[in-house]
């Protein structure tokens, strides 16, 4: 057990995030100035228990992180590839550094020597940044990202931390009625303020849990409520193959949707069963065939590196099959053991154990995808990820998802509807976002809809 003391620091949160990459929670206690009392009582009760005391007297945040990094690297042999960076958006950091330093050479130097990034990660984020710059300009102020959430799924996956619900048809219909009201309301407000959707993303949950009629009505409401004449992209996350039918795909196609997600996660049947999905790999292939036959031109897929009981060979089979199926977008996720998931109850240290396997899986996916003409175009990190690695979205040229890039860039207002939707108002002059959340429980959302609408009026549409 390590006892780590940060003198002159009152908020230890960001340092704790860094330490967690090296040490499991039961391997250390961390104290800063604001918890001196706790430190003293721990001294009295269990001093003998600590086998090493690490004390730091540096107040400059990044210098302190570098000291922690170097000390813990030497003690544990762990070498985090993202250096001292614990944030979610390393590609955004590249953009900020370019604005500040002026040249890519200086950015690379800073990432390497100040943030202590590994060379491979530097090359990954710089290439992702460059792809983003080629595709997108800065968003114009009235062009927003529109997110619409359908918080229902047929079953709950083992690693899910989202409030996905398995609900009765009557309840789902009640939710849809409330959602339509929010769509109409925000549509009126957006028209008054001149806002329009640059991209629309219907996500979840699993939107194709809805019936074909419900999908049709939802898309009709959207079409009537918003000016879609300048919308560049409209995505529906079909997600789970067991919810996809020909009828639903035809509804999507008839409404002009050209981009959907089909999320296999893995092509290994025993893993699909283990993680609680009610479909097999054959259903995924059938869903692809159906979507292509209907004329959907862009299919996004999500796969996960580090799923329980999967080997590098299993992961390779998955990625080979998805490439053969011709998915235009492939997002390679690293398994994260999140607080609200069932997986954390089974093994809260699973992500620590998977670190090396996942590192090899990510390297393999990068190699295969580059060789098959996919390029990384968005990237983000999450807490509790195996090996503290990353999620990377790869795309064939010209098929990149605008919504995915914008949400990571944080330079655009996002209007999010439905239970769990978190709108974000972008203030360009201050380069900051302000969150305007809806409640996440769908039943509370239905009963407090008027309050959600008022909250949007007060914070999103007050100009």
The binding site for ligand SF4 (CB under 6 A) comprises 153, 156-157, 160, 162, 164, 204-206, 239-240
Q: Which is nearer to ligand SF4, 240 or 248 (CB)?
A: 240
CA distances (Å), origin 339, targets 44, 161, 309, 349: 32, 7, 21, 12
Closest distance of CB 330 from ligand SF4, Å: 17
Dihedral of CA 202/239/403/107: which sign?
positive
Closest distance of CB 219 from ligand SF4, Å: 21
User: Three-state DSSP class for 60?
Assistant: coil
Closest distance of CB 156 from ligand SF4, Å: 5
Closest distance of CB 157 from ligand SF4, Å: 3
Q: Which is nearer to ligand SF4, 4 or 343 (CB)?
A: 343
Does an H or E element contain 37, and which? Answer: helix 36-46
Are 54 and 5 a contacting pair, CB within 8 Å? yes
Q: How many CB atoms lie within 10 A of CB 347?
A: 12
Compute the distance between CA of residue 21 and CA of residue 4 in angstroms, rounded to an integer. 15
Torsion of CA 15, 21, 22, 27, to 10 degrees: 80
Q: Which is nearer to ligand SF4, 162 or 461 (CB)?
A: 162
Mark 63-78 as b/e (b = at least 16 C-beta within 10 Å). ebbbbbbeebeeeeee
Q: Which is nearer to ligand SF4, 69 or 350 (CB)?
A: 350
Closest by CA to 128, choosing from 118, 120, 139, 138, is 120
Among all residues, whose Cβ is closest to ligand SF4?
160
Q: Which is nearer to ligand SF4, 156 or 217 (CB)?
A: 156
Q: Which is nearer to ligand SF4, 105 or 345 (CB)?
A: 345
Q: Which is nearer to ligand SF4, 254 or 270 (CB)?
A: 270
Closest distance of CB 273 from ligand SF4, Å: 14
CA distances (Å), origin 128, targets 3, 203, 341, 346, 375: 39, 24, 30, 35, 8
Closest distance of CB 164 from ligand SF4, Å: 4
Closest by CA to 239, choosing from 129, 150, 320, 349, is 150
Closest distance of CB 368 from ligand SF4, Å: 24
Are 97 and 115 a contacting pair, CB within 8 Å? no
């Amino acid at each position: 057990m390590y006892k780590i003391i940060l003198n002159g620091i009152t908020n230890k949160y960001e340092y704790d995030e860094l330490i967690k990459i090296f040490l499991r929670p039961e391997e250390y206690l961390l104290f800063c100035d604001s918890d001196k009392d706790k430190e003293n009582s721990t001294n009295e009760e269990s001093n003998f228990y600590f086998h090493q005391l690490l004390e730091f007297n540096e107040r400059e945040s990044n210098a302190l992180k570098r000291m922690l990094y170097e000390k813990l690297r030497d003690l544990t042999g762990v070498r985090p590839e993202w250096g001292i960076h614990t944030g979610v958006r390393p590609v955004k950091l590249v953009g900020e550094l370019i604005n500040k330093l002026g040249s890519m050479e200086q950015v690379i130097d800073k990432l390497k020597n100040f943030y202590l990034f590994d060379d491979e990660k530097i090359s990954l984020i710089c290439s992702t940044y460059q792809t983003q710059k080629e595709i997108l300009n800065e968003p114009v102020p009235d062009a927003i990202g529109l997110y619409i959430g359908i918080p229902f799924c047929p079953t709950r996956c083992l690693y899910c931390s989202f409030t996905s619900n398995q609900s009765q048809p009557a309840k789902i219909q009640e939710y849809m009625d409330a959602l339509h009201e929010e769509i109409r309301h925000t549509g009126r407000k957006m028209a008054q303020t001149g806002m329009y959707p640059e991209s629309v993303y219907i996500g979840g949950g699993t939107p194709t849990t809805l019936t074909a009629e419900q999908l049709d009505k939802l898309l009709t409401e959207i079409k009537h409520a918003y000016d879609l004449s300048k919308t560049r992209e409209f995505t529906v996350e079909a997600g789970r193959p067991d919810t996809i039918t020909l009828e639903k795909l035809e509804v999507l196609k008839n409404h002009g949707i050209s981009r959907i997600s089909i999320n296999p996660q893995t092509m290994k049947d025993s893993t699909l069963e283990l993680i609680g999905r009610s479909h097999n790999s054959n259903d995924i292939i059938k869903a692809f065939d159906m979507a292509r036959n209907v004329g959907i031109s862009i299919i996004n897929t999500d796969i996960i590196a580090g799923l329980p009981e999967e080997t590098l060979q299993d992961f390779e089979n998955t990625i080979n099959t998805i490439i053969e199926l011709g998915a235009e977008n492939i997002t390679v996720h690293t398994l994260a053991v999140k607080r609200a998931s069932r997986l954390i109850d089974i093994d809260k240290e699973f992500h620590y154990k998977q670190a090396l396997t996942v590192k090899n899986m990510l390297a393999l996916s990068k190699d295969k995808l580059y060789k098959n003409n996919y390029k990384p175009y968005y990237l983000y990190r999450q807490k509790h990820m195996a090996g503290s690695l990353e999620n990377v979205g790869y795309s064939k040229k010209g098929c990149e998802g605008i919504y995915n890039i914008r949400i990571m860039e944080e330079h655009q207002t996002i209007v999010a509807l439905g239970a769990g939707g978190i709108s974000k108002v972008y203030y360009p002059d201050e380069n900051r976002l302000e969150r305007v959340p809806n409640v996440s429980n769908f039943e509370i959302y239905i009963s407090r809809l008027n309050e959600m609408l008022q909250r949007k009026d007060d914070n999103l549409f007050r100009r």
